[in-house]
Amino acid sequence: MSLSVFTKISLLYLVRSIARMVSFALFLLVAIVVAGEGLPDVRAFSRGEIVSGVMFVAMIAGLGVGWWRELAGAILIVGGFLGFMASEYAATGDVGMSGIFMLFPFSGALFFLYWLLTRKRY
């Protein structure tokens, strides 16, 4: 089924807007937590915590990069999320994260969907 030009433009705008709103909300939430609790002392981290921290920073970077480069942002978000969850599982044997963490791959998937819908086909 072929979409009309107006339907496709509306769908693109909706996907991009939701991806940006979710990424902005997550970035704002992280900024509020950092402002409230402060930055942790990295020198006291174990190796597993350092890996988790690097993966978390990759997710946060992907939230910003996704506004301009959708595919790169999606790769950073989803890759950082998978690395973060793997390091958490390796360290604790559990991936019992709160539901808010599921918004990271959701945002990455939306950035990827937007890139997929707007890429040039030859």
46-96: pLDDT as tens digits: 887 888 889 999 999 999 999 999 999 999 999 999 999 888 888 777 776
Is the pLDDT higher at 41 or at 36? 36
Report residue 87 as tokens: 């390091």
Report residue 66 as tokens: 């996704």
Report residue 3 as tokens: 């979409």
How far does the chain reach from its first CA to its final CA, in angstroms?
A: 20
Give the separation between CA 80 and CA 114, rounded to whole angstroms: 19
| Residue 1 banded pLDDT, cuts 50, 70, 90 | low
The structure's pTM equals: 0.85
Is the pLDDT higher at 96 or at 99? 99
Residue 6 pLDDT greater than 80, yes or no: no
